[in-house]
């Protein structure tokens, strides 16, 4: 796949939605330097060229003696740049209005505005990154926890690509052996090659299986999960949310029905990004506003990845709560038995009769008892302890998973064909299909339309 469009592109590379001291504008393409020199005048009189490559030049963005901003400029010559093309970056003041004006000026002098992800797309098409590394760039930007960032950073370093390249090299050798066997049938080597092929395919299959098994935990580290906190009014749902956030995010009173709307916040629990949803207490009510909150709570319960049911240990279980327990036991869940610092009327054993699980924690939100136990139990429910954020085999991307499964299916078809003593021509087809599927992960065998769809998900300037 070759880059056809040689236009010089420009975009703001830093976030525009927040105030910042510095804003970066990036140009890439054959004319990046000549366009940059039209709008940039250094205080030293030097221009951007090979003699000043990778040196910061101090000066101004100007047009017809009008100064737009005081900036630093740096030139990265091709091919040793992010995109493998000539790249120029201006470090400007982080005012969104001024940044937009400078971009307009650069476009007026011959550049075009970059599409979403176009800088990274050019890095991929230029051979600096494989497709899995390019996708890791966006994962690093959007990571919500350190663990998620570390996985993306590991993938950016080429961890997935090295695994896939190893497998593709094995397939290339296998296909070469099969070709020789087909071309020289009288050499009586087919039985020997069958055993050699089977051994290599089982080795590749084992590597694929490890990567597939890492996906559930890996995806959780990347995308996070939604966690609904449910229960009847005034049992401590909002207090529980506040303890996890370490701040008074939700209003807490002793008046039932205080939380009427849905409150959502992201929090890091054992490295996992969790979207906590504090719901209105579920009960029969005549209050119109509270009724709406209750209906929203039911909807969130049904759509959440994980449920925390909070109960008040000082009250006997109501029929509603018994019903809630019977519902949550069908989902990934934990029951928090709150207010155990007071005189308790229900205990863990009472809940187990209905819940039929061990994921019950006696706690006190007032004294913050049970929060650490909750975090440990949460981790044991969701994360595979064998998965390391630094593992070369950890995958987080659904596209990668699909390609691995398709590759594995083709390998299994080849193994079945060998078990049935099918001709090597048929086995060769299955191996070619496996090669194509695995090559899609790094972009070796992927078509242009898929590449375009992947980079459309990126942010501008990247």
Structure token digits, residue 268: 């890091």
* Least confident among 26-35, 296-305, 384-393, 442-451: 384-393
Q: Give the angle 18-21-25 at the CA atoms, nearest 5°.
A: 80
Q: Can you tell me the mean pLDDT for 306-334?
A: 90
Q: Give the model's pLDDT for residue 187.
A: 58
Q: Give the model's pLDDT for residue 166.
A: 94
Rounded Cα distance, 307 and 310, in Å: 10
> Element (H or E) spanning 240, and its range?
helix 237-245
pLDDT per residue as tens digits for the range 384-439: 655 566 677 889 999 999 999 999 999 999 999 988 878 888 889 999 999 999 99
Q: Can you tell me the mean pLDDT for 305-329?
A: 90
- Give Cα separations from 113 to 134, 315, 363, 370 (angstroms): 20, 63, 56, 53
- 């996708």: which residue's tokens? 135
pLDDT per residue as tens digits for the range 340-356: 999 999 999 999 999 98
Which residue segments constitute the domains of the chain, with CATH numbers given?
A: 9-129 (3.30.1360.120), 140-214+392-443 (1.20.120.430), 221-382 (3.40.50.300)
Rounded Cα distance, 196 and 403, in Å: 25
* Least confident among 45-59, 92-106, 324-338: 324-338
> Element (H or E) spanning 103, and its range?
helix 96-108
Rounded Cα distance, 210 and 229, in Å: 34
> Element (H or E) spanning 399, and its range?
helix 398-419
Residue 364 carries which DSSP code? B
* Least confident among 80-89, 161-170, 379-388: 379-388
User: Dihedral angle at the C-alpha atoms of 147, 275, 396, 334, nearest 10 degrees?
Assistant: 90
């Amino acid at each position: 796949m070759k880059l056809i469009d040689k236009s010089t592109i420009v975009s703001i590379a830093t976030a525009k939605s927040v105030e910042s001291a510095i804003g970066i504008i990036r140009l890439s393409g054959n004319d990046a330097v000549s366009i940059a020199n039209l709008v940039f005048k250094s205080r030293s009189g030097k221009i951007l060229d090979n003699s000043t490559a990778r040196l910061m030049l101090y000066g101004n963005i100007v047009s017809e003696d009008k100064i737009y901003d005081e900036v630093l400029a740096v030139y990265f010559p091709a091919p040793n740049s992010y995109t493998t093309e000539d790249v120029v970056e201006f470090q400007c003041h982080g005012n969104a209005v001024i940044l937009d004006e400078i971009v307009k000026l650069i476009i007026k002098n011959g550049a075009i505005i970059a599409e979403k992800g176009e800088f990274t797309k050019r890095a991929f098409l230029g051979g600096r990154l494989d497709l899995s590394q390019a996708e890791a760039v966006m994962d690093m930007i959007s990571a919500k926890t350190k663990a998620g960032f570390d996985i993306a950073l590991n993938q950016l370093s080429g961890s997935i690509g090295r695994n896939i390249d190893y497998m593709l090299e094995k397939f290339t050798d296998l296909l070469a052996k099969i070709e020789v066997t087909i071309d020289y049938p009288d050499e009586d080597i087919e039985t020997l090659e069958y055993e050699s092929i089977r051994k290599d395919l089982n080795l590749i299959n084992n590597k694929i299986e490890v990567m597939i098994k890492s996906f559930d935990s890996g995806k959780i580290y990347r995308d996070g999960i939604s966690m609904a906190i449910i229960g009847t009014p005034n049992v401590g749902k909002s207090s529980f949310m506040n303890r996890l956030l370490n701040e008074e995010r939700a209003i807490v009173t002793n008046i039932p029905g205080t939380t009427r709307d849905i409150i959502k916040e992201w929090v890091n629990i054992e490295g996992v990004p969790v979207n906590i949803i504090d719901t209105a207490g579920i009960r029969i009510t005549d209050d119109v506003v509270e009724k709406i909150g209750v209906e929203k709570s039911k909807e969130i319960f049904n759509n959440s990845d994980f449920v925390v049911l909070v109960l008040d240990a000082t009250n006997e279980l109501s029929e509603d709560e018994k019903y809630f327990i019977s519902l949550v036991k069908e989902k990934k869940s934990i029951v928090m038995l709150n207010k155990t610092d007071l005189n308790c009327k229900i205990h863990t054993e009472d809940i187990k009769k209905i819940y039929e699980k061990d994921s019950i924690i006696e706690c006190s939100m007032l004294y913050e008892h049970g929060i650490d136990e909750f975090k440990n139990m949460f981790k044991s429910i969701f994360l595979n302890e064998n998965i390391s954020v630094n593992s070369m085999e950890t995958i987080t991307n659904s596209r990668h998973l699909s390609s691995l499964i398709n590759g594995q299916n083709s390998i299994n078809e080849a193994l079945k064909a060998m078990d049935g003593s099918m001709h090597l021509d048929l086995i060769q087809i299955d191996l070619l299909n496996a090669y194509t599927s695995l090559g899609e992960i790094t972009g070796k065998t992927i078509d242009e339309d898929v590449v375009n769809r992947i980079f459309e998900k990126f942010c501008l300037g990247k």
